[in-house]
Chains A and B, each alone.
Chain A
Amino acid sequence: MKYILEINKLTKDFIPPLSFTKLIKLDFTHQRPIRALEEVSFSLKRGGTLGILGPNGAGKTTLLKIIATLILPDKGSVTVNGYRLGIDDDKIKSFIGMVSSQERSFYWRLTGRQNLEFFAAMYNLKNIKDKIKKLLNFFEIDYADRRFDSYSTGMKQKFALIRGLLNNPELLLLDEPTKSLDYAAALNLRKFIKENLIKKKEKTVIFTTHHIDEALDFCNLFMILHKGKIYGMGTLEELRQKINDSTAGLGEIFVKLTEGP
C-alpha cells in the first residue's frame, strides 16, 4: 500500500454548549457551530515526517484526534493503512500511537513502570515486562519505579512517548509534544525524536506545532493549517514554488499563504 494515511474532504464542526444565561431565558437555540476543519484532504506516504503548522485553534489537535478515532468527523473519510475510520477503529488503534502534551493522561499515584504495564496490557501485548525494559533502556530512563507525580515535566513527556511506542505503531501522532517543556528540554526531546524515532525506528510521524523552527528541525513535509483549512502542503521547495519565492523561509511561506493575495 502506497499511502499509510489518506484523508478525503474531512470537515468537523463543534457546537458550543448552551450558555447558562441562554438556559435561564429558556432560549434553546444553539450558537453558530465552530468550524474546526473544512474539506481537509491529503495523503501521506510510509516513512514520511509531516509537520502540521498552524496557530492555536487552527484545527491541528482535532485533525490528530480524528485520525486517532477519538473524535468523529461530520463529513469526509479517513483511511489508515487501508482501514476505514468508523468501520475498523480497533485495527486503526492497533496501528497508531499518539502522544500529546497533556500530562493528565497517566495515573499519578502509580509509578512510571506500573503505568506503562497497565497501558501495555490494554494493547494485549506479550512479554510486557521485557518490552518496557527495552523501551526504558532506549529512552535512557533509570527512574521508572518512582511515583509518576514525582517526575519532571520532561520526564513525564518521555513516558508519554514510550507509551505511544508500546504497540510498536507504524504511524506516530505527536501533538505538540514539546509544548510544556523548557527550551533545553524541548531541544533534547526533539533531538531524541529525530535521531531515534525517525532515523533509527523509521516511524511515519505526524507532528503538530506552532513553532516553525521545530518543524524545520526534523520534518520533510509541511502542512500549513489555518482556520481549519489546508493552505499548502509539500516539501519546503514545493511550498517555495507555490509562492514563487525560492529563498523564502517557512515563516514567510506561512504568512503569504494564509494572508492570501
Chain B
Amino acid sequence: MLKKPLAFIKKDFLIESSYKLSFLFNIAGVLVSVLTYFFIDKLFGQKIVGHLEEFGVNYFSYVLLSMAFFSYVGVGLGSFSSRIRSEQMQGTLETILLTPTRISTILFSMALWNLLFATLDIAIYISLGIFLFKINFSNINILSTLVILFLTIISFSGLGILSASFIMVFKRGNPVGWLINSLEGLIGGVYFPITIMPAWLQFAAKFLPITYAVRAIELAVYRGFGLGQLTKEIGFLLLFSFLLLPLSFTSFKFALKKARQQGSLAQY
C-alpha cells in the first residue's frame, strides 16, 4: 500500500538532492527572512504590542511562528499544482498516468516530499527561534498544535488540488493559487495580526482558512491553549476541510477527464 508513496518520496529526494546548491540556499533563505523580521520588530514592534496581547508574545515571536507554519500551508496550497506542473514539464505525467495508479494516490504521493521538506523548514525556523533568538516555546500544547497542523494541511490541500485542476487543463495560469496566495499574505494574519486591519478586511478574512489556522497555532504554541479552547478555530478548519476536499477531488477528476478529451496530458 505504501510502495507508491515511498517510491515518490525516494524519487523526489534523489532529484532534489542532485541540486545541492538549492538545498543550502533554502536554509540561507530561512535565515535571511528571519533576520529581516527580527529587524522589523526592532523598528516597529512596539507599535503593535496592543494587537498581540492575546497571544502573549512580541511581534518577532508572532511572525516567526506564523512564517514557519506558513511552510505547511504552502505544502497544502502549492505543492499539488507545482508537482503536476513539474511532471508536465518533464513529460512524465503521461507515463505515470499510464500505470494503474489511483488519482488520489498520485496526488497524495506527489505532495509528500514537499511535506517532509516543509517539516525541515519548520525545524529550522523553530531551532533559530530557540537557540539564536531565545524565544520561549515552553507553553506549547503539543496535541493542539498537531491537530491544527493536520487540519491546516487537509483544508489547504483542498485549495491546492483545486489549483492543480487548473494546471491540468490550462497548463499555466492558476487563478485559485494566485487569489489565495495574495489574500492570505495580505489579510490572513501571517505577517501581522488581523486586528490591525480595517473592519471590512477583518470580515473578509473570516472566509479564509488561514485566518483560523494562524490564530489557532499562535494560541496553541504560545499560550498553551487546549483543544477545548480552540473549538471555534478547529470547527472552521474542519468545515473548510469537509467542503474543500471533496470539491477539489471532483474538480481534479473533471480536469483530468478534460485533459484526456483534449489529448493534452503530454502538453505543457
Contacts and interface: CB of A to CB of B under 8 A. Distances in A.
Contacts of A106: 91-92, 95
Q: Which interface class (under 10, 10 to 19, 20 to 34, 35 or more) fits B?
A: 20 to 34
B263 A107 contact: no
Chain B facing A: main interface SS: helix
B252 to A, nearest CB: 16
Nearest to B261: A72
A109 B15 contact: yes
A105 B95 contact: yes
Contacts of B263: 12, 14, 36, 62, 65, 70-71
A110 B14 contact: yes
A93 B100 contact: yes
Nearest to A73: B261
B11 A118 contact: yes
A14 B262 contact: yes
A124 B105 CA distance: 12
Contacts of A132: none
A70 to B, nearest CB: 6
Interface string B50-69: 00000000000000000000
Interface residues of A, number: 35
A62 B266 CA distance: 12
A102 B98 contact: no
A90 interface: yes
A255 B135 CA distance: 81
Contacts of B6: 121
B100 A123 contact: yes
Contact of B98 (A12, A62, A91, A93): A93
Interface in B1-57: 3-4, 6-8, 10-11, 14-15, 18-19
A167 B100 CA distance: 10
Top 7 A-B pairs, shortest CB-CB distance: A104-B91, A121-B7, A122-B99, A90-B100, A93-B100, A72-B260, A71-B263
18 contacts: A14-B262, A70-B266, A72-B261, A90-B100, A93-B99, A94-B100, A98-B98, A103-B91, A105-B91, A105-B95, A109-B14, A110-B15, A117-B10, A121-B7, A122-B99, A122-B101, A124-B100, A167-B99
